[in-house]
Every structure is written in structure tokens, then in C-alpha cells.
Amino acid sequence: MTLTEFVIATIVKILLVLGIVSALAGFGTYLERKVLAFMQRRLGPMHVGPYGLLQVLADGIKLFTKEDFVPQNSIRPIFMIAPLIGAASAFIALAAVPLLPEFKIFGITVHPIIADVNVGILFVLGVMATGLYAPLLAGMASSNKWGLLGAARTVIQLLSYEVVTGLSVMAPLMLVGSLSLIDINNYQANGFKEWIIWQQPVAFVLFLIAGFAETNRTPFDLLEHEAEIVSGFATEYSGMRWGMFFIGEYTNMITLAFLASLVFLGGFNEWGFLPGGLAIILKVSFLFFFFLWTRAAWPHVRPDQLMWLCWKVLLPLAVVNIVITGLVLMM
């Protein structure tokens, strides 16, 4: 494959991933409303289209046609850049994730990964973490007290849960001995019993909890906790700039679901009679549903409870898990 072909293939992949994932992120908002509604014995959106399916479209029209409003005393350039950082970093993180197994179409072998970085998992986690600059900058630039509180909460959340994510992934990485997501996937190639979750159940739980905090989903969505700080960092935003934060958030949820299924749940290996591609889509869908399920089932936590959970429970657990894994590996 020549360089030009490689560049063209990469651009096609980028466009496909951008289009499909942002559409899925939009559809995710519909799913979220429906799942929450059914869990709370309501119907959710019903009026626009069959079963409210066109609600996403209506929301899109609303967001695009709303006035793009910038408050007077805010710092204009940073206020306007912040939502872009959120959406862009979410998609850049997705670039190093192998989405499906290799397949052939029209006689060409396709690797469904945009950039095969050999330290894939670190790249994805690192770039996802930069996504938290979006709420931080938004909160600080909008010269609003609620925004500033949201920004302050972003800082504590990022600085503490970065550590837990890193440490919880460390133990499975010690087993595999590679940072490449494809190697991690191939390590679990021999079927259901080889999934890393059976060897590292603690790490899986810690990773999911830290993932909720990194994508700021309920129970850890302190950055925009309506009951306390109006809408946190997003208080001053309207229209598509507001929408961009949420495209970023849903994309991050999808990325995290892919990461969890690749590292812990057997990735895109064949699962019994299921082909690999279908298997990973099912796992990712389940994890996405799990995000919504948790939102319906759990109350918010207070910031001090979040810190308590992180530093006094999760961090010691993660370290103990690494030490035990190390001892077992040495024997």
C-alpha cells in the first residue's frame, strides 16, 4: 500500500467513524430518554414520529436554529473553543480503538482502526482525559459563579479519577505484557474462559466506576449537577455549542464501552457461534445500556463522598490488586 493510498484510506475511515459515531451519539440521547422513562414507569418521547423516533431530528433542528449566545463579560475565544475541545478530543480518542475485527470488502482487507498506535490504551485514556478541559475552560471563561463551581469540580474529578483509571488498567496490562489494544484482544482469543474479567474482576469494577467519573455520568455528574449548581459549566451555553458538549459525552461513553469490552470482555473475538464483529457490538450495547441503567438506579453523590470513594476506597483497592497480580505473576 503506497503512502497516498494509506492517506486516502485513513481519510475515508475518519469520515465514516465521525459520521456513524456522531449519529449514534444523537440516537443515544433518544435511547437514554426511553430507557430512563421505562425504568421510571413513563413512556418517554412519544409524539414526534413512531414511538418518538424522530425526536432526535427535532432536537437537532432546535439546537441548530437556536441563537448562538455569548455572555457579555465572558472571555469570548475560549468560551467558543471549549465545546469544540470536548467533541474533538472524544473523536480523537476513538481513533486508536480497533472497532471491529479485520474484514474483507471488494477484495480489500480493511483494518477498522484509524491509527494503530502501539500504546493504544494509554493514548485513548490520555486523550479522553484532555476532554475534561472542555468543561473546565467553559466554566472558567463564562464568568458565571455556577460555571466556576463546575470548573472547580472538573479539576478535582479529573485529578483523582485519572489515577484510579490508570491503576485499574495496570493489572490486566501486566497479564498481557503489551499496551496495544489489538494484543490485549488477541490475548483473550481462546473463547469465553480466557476473558480477562475472570482473572481481574476487581480491576473491571474499578475501571467502570472510574469511567463513570471520567465521562461525568450519574452518579458522578457533579460538573452539571442541576440540584446544586444550576447546570454547572454549561449554564451559559445554548444551541449547538451546548449540544457539542453532549456529542462529546456520548462519544466518550461509546469509547469507554469499547475499551471495557476490549480489555475485559474478550474484545472482538468470536464468542461461541457469534462472529467477532457482532459480539463486540453486543458487548458495547450492553455497556451503553449499563450507563443508562445506573443513571436510573443511583442517586447523585456529594463531592466529598466522591473524594472519599476515590482516595479511601478505590485507590487502595487498585494498589492491592496490582500487588496481588504481581505476586501471582512472579510465582
Partner 1 sequence: MFEAIAFYLFSAVTISMFIITVMSKNALYSMSALAAGMIMISGFFFLLDADFLGVVQIIVYTGAVMALYAFGMMFFDATRDVKENIRAPKLVFLLSGMTALLLVLAFVAPIVSDHIQALYPVVDGVENPQAVGIVLFTKYLVPFEVAAVMLLVAMIAGIILAGKKMDESLTLKIDGDEEFQNKGSK
Beta-carbon count within 10 A of 144 CB: 23
Distance set, CA 74 to CA 141, 148, 265, 276, 293 (Å): 5, 12, 45, 49, 37
Place of cell 472519599: 308
**Residue among 2, 40, 73, 109 that touches partner 1 (CB under 8 A):** 73
DSSP E strand stretches across 34-169: 103-105, 108-110
Place of cell 414520529: 49
Residues in 20-59 that interact with partner 1 by CB under 8 A: none
- Look at residue 75 and give its three-state secondary structure: coil
**Is there binding between residue 67 and partner 1 (CB under 8 A)?**
no
In our burial notation (b when 16+ CB lie closer than 10 A, e otherwise), range 2-36 reads: eeeeeeeeeeebeeebeeebbebbbebbbbbbbbe
**Is there binding between residue 170 and partner 1 (CB under 8 A)?**
no
Q: Which is nearer to partner 1, 133 or 289 (CB)?
A: 133
**Residue among 133, 289, 290, 293 that touches partner 1 (CB under 8 A):** 133
x-marked contacts with partner 1 along 1-20 as a string, rule CB under 8 A: --x---x-------------
Q: Which is nearer to partner 1, 12 or 39 (CB)?
A: 12
DSSP at 87 = H
CA distance 26 to 2: 36
**Residue among 136, 164, 223, 280 that touches partner 1 (CB under 8 A):** 136
Q: Which is nearer to partner 1, 40 or 72 (CB)?
A: 72
Instruction: Provide the minimum distance between the beta carbon of 78 and partner 1 in the complex, in angstroms, as a whole number.
Output: 6
Q: Is there a contact between 170 and 121 (Cβ–Cβ < 8 Å)? A: no
Instruction: Provide the minimum distance between the beta carbon of 130 and partner 1 in the complex, in angstroms, as a whole number.
Output: 5
> Binding residues for partner 1, per CB under 8 A?
3, 7, 73-75, 78, 117-119, 122-123, 125-127, 129-130, 132-133, 136-137, 140-141, 143, 148, 151-152, 155-156, 158-159, 162, 178-179, 302-304
